Structure formats: structure tokens, C-alpha cells
Structure 1
Amino acid sequence: MTIKEVTDILEEFAPLTYAEDFDNVGLLIGNATTEVDGILVTLDTLENVVDEAIETNCNLIISFHPIIFNGLKKITGKNYVERVVLKAIKNNIAIYAIHTALDNTPFGVNGKIGEVLGLTNPSILIPQKNTLRKLTTYVPVAHEESLKNALFLAGGGDIGNYSHCSFSIEGKGTFKANEKANPTVGEIGQIHTENETMVSCIFDKGKENRITQALKNTHPYEEVAYEITSLNNTNPYIGMGLIGELVEGMPETSFLEMLKIKMKTPIVRHTKLLGEPIQKVAVLGGSGAFAIGAAKAAGADIFITADVKYHQFYEAENQIVIADIGHFETEQFTKNLLVDYLTKKIPNFAIRLSESITNPIKYF
């Protein structure tokens, strides 16, 4: 398989269009047409991870965090980022990062935390906006069903737990073909009227290329009339964070003890305990203090995240418990998630879970 064939499979799960604007995702180092010998999956791409890739004959590293985040003006090996880039290039190792594309995927980083904690009825904490598109096109009545089926197969018409969603209106279309045309119906130089159906369907913006390709491959006309509009609808199935419920409420201290065990963290930094049972739980892997307000608005009893600053803890305002369990700890299961997914999709390929330790924080 080529790198592109592997990353295409990965992007079916976490399309790069889901990533935040500030992020740097996708293939960071390497050529997409390179044949893949082996895949190493990691949370961070550090020098020891590149060494591990060399030792295990893996020429593609799939990393959660991007090693190149800001622009590099020089690559001289003066810091850990530049040394990783130099070593990877020297040893023909490609690096691909997925980061917030996986954060915003419903079964990604936060979905995994929710699974580990046993949360039920999960939903997105901060849904994304402007992720939906609507296709409208016009097709002869006899070709309506075949066109819709092609669009559905390409990912059109999926809305939450429903698929094959569309809307159709019948009407009359007109056109006149010039002497250079090769019309499917009608005569050159003559105005033609055709009984047509206007077909509309919604799709995720990450599927736009597939949708337009399916449209052009299936539509009978030489020139296809269509429009794609961007919708301002909030997409409740894509976005940051997750909120769910425990099967049974727990005393705060019991929940915190369970949290330490299941999330494998030696310490939890938290705000004042409120003396109320924990039932509704909000989570956001990584630096998630920006979502404190959303967790409070959603009625969460506790918000689990990382990298909360001193003054941000004040935002709890005796309405919620904020628990900071560490950046690495919130994202530690991410590489397992990616390995499990890729193994199911390409079971006969060498996919390795990195054994390198990349957490820069130690506890005494």
C-alpha cells in the first residue's frame, strides 16, 4: 500500500476537514506515493519514536500530535523538532499527524475517554458549525433514482442515525445545445424542454470531492448543472468534547478515585467538591479549559480535562467540579484507538503500537 492509501483509510474515520483552523494535520514529512513497509502509531513523534520506527522497519509514523506545528525557517538540529525532522528525512520515514481531526470525531479522543469511564448517552459538548453542505442538482426523471443511489453511496444524505435522506421536486428544464455540444437529449441548435427532478441532499464537507465525482460520473448530461451551498447549521455529531452519564451516580471522592485508576494518573487537580453525587460527566482531552463554560451550561457535575490554569479554576463558581488529570493522561488511549481501527481496516498489514514513552511530565 502507498502512504496515501493508508491515510485515505484513516481519513474515512477522521476527515482532515474536521480539524481546527489553527492545527497542522495531514502528511507532514514524506511523499504520499511511497510504498509503506510498516506503520508505527504514537501519541507524539520524538527522536526515540523515530529510532523505534527505524528499528522496527516502519517507514510511516502516524502521530496524534503534529511534530511540526509552527513554521520552520531553518532545520539545523538545534531543537527537538528540527532533530526529529532531520532524522526522519535522513531515514526516509514519513510522518502523518491527525490531532484535532480526531478530537472532533464522535468516536475519537473524547469518545474513547467516555468509553473508558463507562459513560452512557454520549453527545458532543461543543458541536462544530459550518461543517454541512447541501447539493442541489437537476436530472431527467428517469435517472433520478440511479443518481440518488450514487450520491448516497458517496456519503450524501447522512443525517445522524438516518441515511438516504434527500428531497425531490419535479419540474421542467430547458437548454439549447450549440454546434460543439454532444447532447444526451435534444437537438443541436434547438431549445429543448425536459421533464426533470430537482434533487437535494445534505453531506459532510469532508465528502465534497466524492459527492461531486459521483454526481459527474452518474449524471447523464454532458454538462451537469448543480450548486453546493454551505449551511450554518450546527452539526451535533462533530465537535469538541463529550458529555455523558454514569449508569449510577457516585459520591465525588469515589468518582475521583475511580478516575485516577481508569485514567492511570497519580494525581487529580480539582476545584472544591460540592457535596453532590457525580452523575453527568463532561470530558475534553488535551487543553480544554476553554470548554468550562460549555460544561457548566450542559449541566455537567464534573468536567475532566487538562492544562487548566490557576485563574481558570475559579470559573467553576461552585457550579461544577473541574478536574485536571494531565494532558498525556487524557490522550493516552488515542494511539490504541488508531491501531485498533487500522488493524480492522487493513488486517494483513504491519501496524505497531509505539512502546516509546513520550510524556514529558513526571510525578514525584
Structure 2
Amino acid sequence: MTVKDVIKILDAYAPLHYTEDFDNTGLLVGNSKATVTGILVTLDTLETVVDEAIQNNCNMIVSFHPIIFSGLKKLTGATYVERTVQKAIKNDIAIFAIHTALDNSWNGVNAMICKKLGLSNRRVLLPKKELIKKLTTYVPTESLNHVRTALFEAGAGTIGNYSQCSFTSEGIGSFQGEEGSAPTIGETGELRFEAETLLSVTFPKHIETSVISALFASHPYEEVAYETITLDNTHQHIGMGMIGELAAEISEEELLTKLKDTFKTGVIKHSAKHNKKVQKIAVLGGSGSFAISAAKAAGADVFVSADFKYHDFYQAEGTILLCDVGHYESEQYTKDLLVDVLTKKITNFAVVLSQTNTNPISYF
């Protein structure tokens, strides 16, 4: 198995297509054609993590956070980033980062937080827009089932928790093959009127190439009439943060204790308590102050995230309990998730969970 093969597994789980614009995901160091001897999974890639990869005979590191956020202009070893990259290159170790692609995934970072807190009925807190496309094509009625099935197999026709969704409408299509054409039906120069079915399906933007390829491969006509448009609809399963519910209401003190135990944190910064029961919890791994208003609008009793600044806590305005559990702490279970994803697909070499604590923050 090559580095590229491993990337395909991860991209199928959390498509890099949904990486945030500010981010730097994908293969950051290494050759995609290199054969993998082992994978080390980490939250951050540091020099000590590269050392750990060497010790475990792992020539690929799958990291949540990217070690390179912006372009490197030099590699002199002057910074921890440069030294890490140098050591990886020297030892032929590839580094792949998945970061916000996994943040935006339905079964990603925030799903793990929901699982750890025992939240049910989860939904995306900030669903993404303009990620759903609609394909409309015109198919000879007798070929409808064949074409529709091919599109479904390519991944089209999924809406929320439903699959194989489509719409059809029957009509009459006309065409006339001009010089150089080779009509599947009729002859060149002949005006034809055929019973056709309008077929429309929706699909996530990142599989557009596969869907169009399936259309062309299955459609009987020499020239396929089709159109694709981007919908304004939000994607229910792609976006930042999640909101879910505890099995029963608990007190704010019980919730804070639960958070401290779950995230193994030395301290939780929080806004003023309201002396009320809580049940609906919004979560967002990593820096999440930008989603405070969304959590309030969703009716959350509590918003659990990290990196809140002083004035962010004022936004609670007596309506929500804001809890900052720490950046590393909120994302720590991401490593376990990635190991689980990879071990289910890879059996011919080791997938190792990093034991290096990369949290740059200590508590006194």
C-alpha cells in the first residue's frame, strides 16, 4: 500500500474537498508513491513525534493539525516547524494532515465529542451551503433504470438519511444528427422524436466527476444532454460543530464535572451559571468562539468549545453556559477516531496511536 492509497481511505471518510479556505490539509511532506511500512497517528506533528515514528518503523504520519500552515520560505532549522519538516524529510517520513476536513465531517471531531458526552439526536451546528449539486438529464425511457442505477452507484441520490432519491418526468425529445454524427437511434439527417424521461438527482459536490463519468458511461446517446447546478440548500451532514441532547436533564455543576472528567482537563473556564437544569449541548472541537451565536440560536443550554477570549464570555448574556475545556482537550479523541478508521481498512502493517503528549499548555 502506498501513501496515496492511505490518503484515499481518509479522503473517502472526510473529503479534503471540505477543508476550510484558511487551512492546509493533505500531503505536506513526502512522496505519494512511497510504500508505507507503518502509520503513526497524532494530533500534532512535532520533532518528538517524528522520533516516535522512527522508533515504530512508521514512514507515514497522519496528523490532525498541519505542521505547515503557510508557505515555508526556508528550511534552516530556526523554528520548530522547520526542524520537524527537516527531520521528516531526512528520514523519508511522509506527513499528511486532515484538520478541518475532519472538523466538517459528519463522523468526525465533533461526532467523537458527542459520543464521549453521550449526546443523542445530534445535528450539525453550522451546516455548509453550496455543497449540494443537482444533475438533470434526459434519457430514453427504456434506458432509464440502467442510467439511474449507475448514478446511484456513483453516489448520487442521497438526501440526508435517505438514499436512491430521484425525480422523473416523461416527455418527448427531439434531435437530428448532422454530418459527422453517429446516432444511437435513427439515421444521420433524420429528425427524430423519442419518448424520453427527465431524470434529476442531487449529489455532494466532491463526487461530481464520478457522477458525470457514470452518466456518460451508462447513457446510450452519442451526445448526452445534461446540466448541473449548485443548490443554495445547506448540507445536513457537513459543517462545523454539532448539537445534541443528554439522556436527561442534569444540573450545571453535574455538567461541569462531567466535562472535567471526560476531557481530563485541569480547569474549565465558563460563563456565569444560571442555576438551572441543562440537556441540549452544542459542541465544537478546537477554537469555537465564532459559533457562539449559532449555539444560542439553536437553543443550546451549553456550548462546549475552546479558545474563548475574555469578551467572548459576555456573549452568554444569561441565556447559555459557555464552557472552554481547552483546545487540545477538546480534540484529543481525534487520534482514536483516525486509528479506528485506518485499522478497519488496513491489515498488512501497523497503525500506531502516538503516545506523545503534544499539548503546548500546562496547568499549575
Query: Which residue in 2 is equivalent to 1:92?
Result: 92
CA contact (8 A) 1:343 1:349 kept: no
* Residues 93-146 of structure 1 deviation map (CA, whole Å, 9 limit, x = unaligned): 111111111111111101100100011111111111111000111221111111
After superposition, the Cα gap between the structure-2 partners of 1:31 and 1:276, relative to the gap in structure 1 and judged at 3 Å, is same
Q: Give secondary structure in 2 for the equivalent of 1:344.
A: helix
Query: Which residue in 2 is equivalent to 1:117?
Result: 117
After superposition, the Cα gap between the structure-2 partners of 1:223 and 1:91, relative to the gap in structure 1 and judged at 3 Å, is farther
Q: Counterparts of 2:222 and 2:30 in 1: how far apart (Å)?
A: 39
Q: Give, in angstroms, the shift of residue 339 of structure 1.
A: 0.6
Q: Counterparts of 1:180 and 1:54 in 2: how far apart (Å)?
A: 61
Q: Counterparts of 1:347 and 1:137 in 2: how far apart (Å)?
A: 42
Report 1:154-193 matches (<5 A): 154-193=154-193
Q: Give secondary structure in 2 for the equivalent of 1:107.
A: coil
Q: Give secondary structure in 2 for the equivalent of 1:20.
A: coil
Query: Which residue in 2 is equivalent to 1:361?
Result: 361
Q: Give secondary structure in 2 for the equivalent of 1:185.
A: coil
Query: Which residue in 2 is equivalent to 1:242?
Result: 242
Matched, 1:203 2:203: yes
Q: Which amino acid aligns with 1:339?
A: V
Q: Which amino acid aligns with 1:81?
A: V
Query: Which residue in 2 is equivalent to 1:56?
Result: 56
Query: Which residue in 2 is equivalent to 1:345?
Result: 345
Q: Which amino acid aligns with 2:151?
A: L
Task: Using structure 1 for the length normalisation, give the TM-score.
Answer: 0.96
Q: Which amino acid aligns with 1:136?
A: T
Q: Give, in angstroms, the shift of residue 34 of structure 1.
A: 2.1
Matched, 1:258 2:235: no
Q: After the TM superposition, which segments of 4 or more aligned residues of structure 1 sit over 4 Å from their partners?
A: none
* Residues 247-276 of structure 1 deviation map (CA, whole Å, 9 limit, x = unaligned): 111111111111101111111011111101
Instruction: Report the RMSD for the aligned CA atoms in angstroms.
Output: 1.4
Q: Give, in angstroms, the shift of residue 181 of structure 1.
A: 3.1
Q: Counterparts of 2:91 and 2:186 in 1: how far apart (Å)?
A: 60
* Residues 148-169 of structure 1 deviation map (CA, whole Å, 9 limit, x = unaligned): 1111111100011110000111
Q: Give, in angstroms, the shift of residue 179 of structure 1.
A: 4.0
Query: Which residue in 2 is equivalent to 1:4?
Result: 4
Q: Give, in angstroms, the shift of residue 58 of structure 1.
A: 1.4
Q: Give, in angstroms, the shift of residue 174 of structure 1.
A: 2.7
Deviates further, 173-182 or 75-84: 173-182
Q: Give, in angstroms, the shift of residue 228 of structure 1.
A: 1.2
Q: Give, in angstroms, the shift of residue 224 of structure 1.
A: 2.0
Query: Which residue in 1 is equivalent to 2:71?
Result: 71
* Residues 290-322 of structure 1 deviation map (CA, whole Å, 9 limit, x = unaligned): 111111111111111000000111111111111
CA contact (8 A) 1:183 1:222 kept: yes
Q: Give, in angstroms, the shift of residue 186 of structure 1.
A: 2.1
Deviates further, 105-114 or 83-92: 83-92
Stretches of structure 1 lacking an aligned partner (at least 5 in a row): none
Q: Which amino acid aligns with 1:243?
A: I
Identical aligned residues as a percent: 58
Query: Which residue in 1 is equivalent to 2:18?
Result: 18
Query: Which residue in 1 is equivalent to 2:297?
Result: 297
Q: Give, in angstroms, the shift of residue 62 of structure 1.
A: 0.9
CA contact (8 A) 1:173 1:193 kept: yes
CA contact (8 A) 1:287 1:308 kept: yes
Report 1:37-48 matches (<5 A): 37-48=37-48
Q: When the two structures are aligned, how many residues end up with a matched partner?
A: 364
Stretches of structure 2 lacking an aligned partner (at least 5 in a row): none
Deviates further, 174-183 or 68-77: 174-183
Q: Give, in angstroms, the shift of residue 337 of structure 1.
A: 0.4
Q: Which amino acid aligns with 1:180?
A: G
* Residues 55-96 of structure 1 deviation map (CA, whole Å, 9 limit, x = unaligned): 222122111111111122222221111112222222221111
* Residues 21-55 of structure 1 deviation map (CA, whole Å, 9 limit, x = unaligned): 21111111222222222111111111111111122
Matched, 1:105 2:105: yes
Q: Give secondary structure in 1 for the equivalent of 2:164.
A: coil
